[in-house]
Structure 1
Amino acid sequence: MPGRRRRAVLLTRPLEDSRALADGLAEEGIQAEIWPLTAIRPLAMSLKLPPTLDGLLFTSAHGVRAFAGLAPRRDLPALCVGRRTADVARRLGFAGALSAGPDAEALARAASMSGLRHFFHARGRDAAADLKAMLAARGVHVTEAVLYAAEETGPPPAPVAHALGSGAIGLVTLWSRRNAEIFARRMAAPGALAPGLRGLAISARAAEPLAALGLASVTVAEAPDGAAMRAAIRALA
């Protein structure tokens, strides 16, 4: 009896992140297609840090890379969202970088309990949470700078569009609410998605825009971070 055809997983993060994940999945026998729904664009050419600064906040690896390219300081404590962001920070010379948890709320709690009172947040243009306001309510000052933007890339490449319409892709991964909104808008046309396509969202909020697509199922990762998403991909694929 012939085995069932294994369908591919669609990765929608920016290209560098998707390629790294696709390589890891390939080692486990999971085929991935890539459609980066957004691309990271730098917005700042220079950066001046306040002299009273005593800590850094990173909510993504993109923020780490943008900061590292503009500022030479590596001596400040760095609190990060997620293990991957902390790993990237350590690789770029922030030896004391720590993962404070999977989301902005966990980061705010860790920052407020750290004893530090003036942080710098290297952020993107579109933020899921107002970290500065969250910490101001806890008596912690945050200086922030918008260093990059995640800009929409456009419609799917022809091979990806064909795979989505033919059923060759069985699972689409959405890594933020904005990700999901772009995917839902781009793939709303009748026939754009083959029956049986399943969705995997990083959070319940990210899953909401997918309701209009009529997917076979939508799974929410157990935690809003990359490790939980990778574990869910393995389980579903």
Structure 2
Amino acid sequence: MIATVLLTRPVKQAERFAGALRDRFGATLPVLIAPKLEIIYDRVAAALALRGAGGVIFTSENGVEACIGADIPANLPAFCVGPRTAKAAGAAGFAAHMGPGDAAGLIATIAGLKCAQEAAPLVHLHGAHVTGNVSGALSAHGIPTRSAVVYDQRPCPISQQARRLLAGSAPVILPLFSPRSAKLLTGDLAVSQAPLWIAAISPAVAQAVNVHSAAELQIRVARHPDADEIIAEIAELLENGSFLEDGTSAG
């Protein structure tokens, strides 16, 4: 049977990831977008948070998006978790500095940058649900940093089409990008009858998966916490468990 990739990320991120899947596998791999989260931006909070900041910290593109339309001072440094966020920050008018791809690495990078120390105080613009304490860690390193919530990640029900997919007999490939997303899907996955092939972005995400009813369960963890590695794990799942519609392998 042909596997379908089920994308439960917010719409913008899901559509971009679907495009990356098409680039890798072509149009033969079925993809269904059924968001479990909706991003709600607080642009007023973002504009207020920028006041008095010598630099900003972004651990996702959503923080950058919340600043669109705000009065961004020229050359305001933005310390970004990875390349995609740095690109978005640069396009928004910030002087972007790229981190290694994860929050812990970003903290270490900022702590070692003289320009970050000189720019302080910094402000970490983030969502209502975060893992870790970036501002606290940097303040402990002697770089005064405050924290501001500038968007929310609100749960929403997945589509009926997604529910039917999970209740079917064909394999479902489910990329997961955060522990919270994995936990929010617990109720949906609890009644899943389809074989589930999960590609988790980190061990913490894999540990948050709670599935008991699936006909088959495979969980693979990305070697590095980024979208390209998730796609690599999807390729492995396809290679081991299925083939694309035209009969060619995922490799």
Q: When the two structures are superposed, what TM-score results if normalisation uses the length of structure 1?
A: 0.87
Any unmatched runs of 5+ in structure 2? Answer: 239-251
Contact map agreement 2:72 2:93 (CA 8 A) in 1: no
Q: Which residue in 1 is equivalent to 2:108?
A: 109
Aligned length: 227
Contact map agreement 2:11 2:38 (CA 8 A) in 1: yes
Q: Which residue in 2 is equivalent to 1:9?
A: 5
Q: Deviations over 1:127-164 (max 9, x none)?
A: 1111111112211111221110000012x211111112
Q: Distance in 2 between matches of 1:230 and 1:99?
A: 22
Bigger shift: residues 79-88 or 69-78: 69-78
Structure 1 residues 161 and 100, CA gap change in structure 2 (3 angstroms):
same
Shift of 1:82: 1.9
Q: Distance in 1 between matches of 2:148 and 2:174?
A: 32
Choose from 19, 22, 47 the match for 1:23.
19
Q: Which residue in 2 is equivalent to 1:134?
A: 137
Q: Distance in 1 between matches of 2:74 and 2:2?
A: 45
Q: Deviations over 1:20-77 (max 9, x none)?
A: 11123123323211121101002342523343x3322100000011023333235112
**1:97 equivalent in alignment to 2:96:** yes
Q: Distance in 2 between matches of 1:97 and 1:167?
A: 46
Contact map agreement 1:26 1:32 (CA 8 A) in 2: no
Q: Deviations over 1:148-186 (max 9, x none)?
A: 0000012x2111111122134431111100000011233
Q: Distance in 2 between matches of 1:41 and 1:176?
A: 18
Contact map agreement 1:12 1:175 (CA 8 A) in 2: no
Matches within 5 A, 1:25-174: 25-27=21-23, 28-29=25-26, 30-46=29-45, 47-48=47-48, 49-51=50-52, 53-94=53-94, 96-115=95-114, 116-117=116-117, 118=120, 119-154=122-157, 156-174=158-176
Contact map agreement 2:126 2:151 (CA 8 A) in 1: yes
Bigger shift: residues 61-70 or 102-111: 61-70
Q: Distance in 2 between matches of 1:133 and 1:144?
A: 9
Q: Which residue in 2 is equivalent to 1:200?
A: 199
Contact map agreement 1:100 1:107 (CA 8 A) in 2: yes
Q: Distance in 2 between matches of 1:148 and 1:121?
A: 12
Contact map agreement 1:10 1:169 (CA 8 A) in 2: no
Identical aligned pairs, as a percentage? 29
1:13 partner SS: coil
Q: Distance in 2 between matches of 1:62 and 1:160?
A: 25
Q: Distance in 1 between matches of 2:129 and 2:18?
A: 25
Contact map agreement 1:44 1:146 (CA 8 A) in 2: no
Amino acid at match of 1:183: L
Amino acid at match of 2:102: D
Contact map agreement 2:42 2:66 (CA 8 A) in 1: no
**Structure with higher helix content:** 2
Any unmatched runs of 5+ in structure 1? Answer: none
Q: Distance in 2 between matches of 1:173 and 1:133?
A: 30
Amino acid at match of 2:79: L
Q: When the two structures are superposed, what TM-score results if normalisation uses the length of structure 2?
A: 0.83
Contact map agreement 2:5 2:173 (CA 8 A) in 1: yes
1:133 partner SS: helix
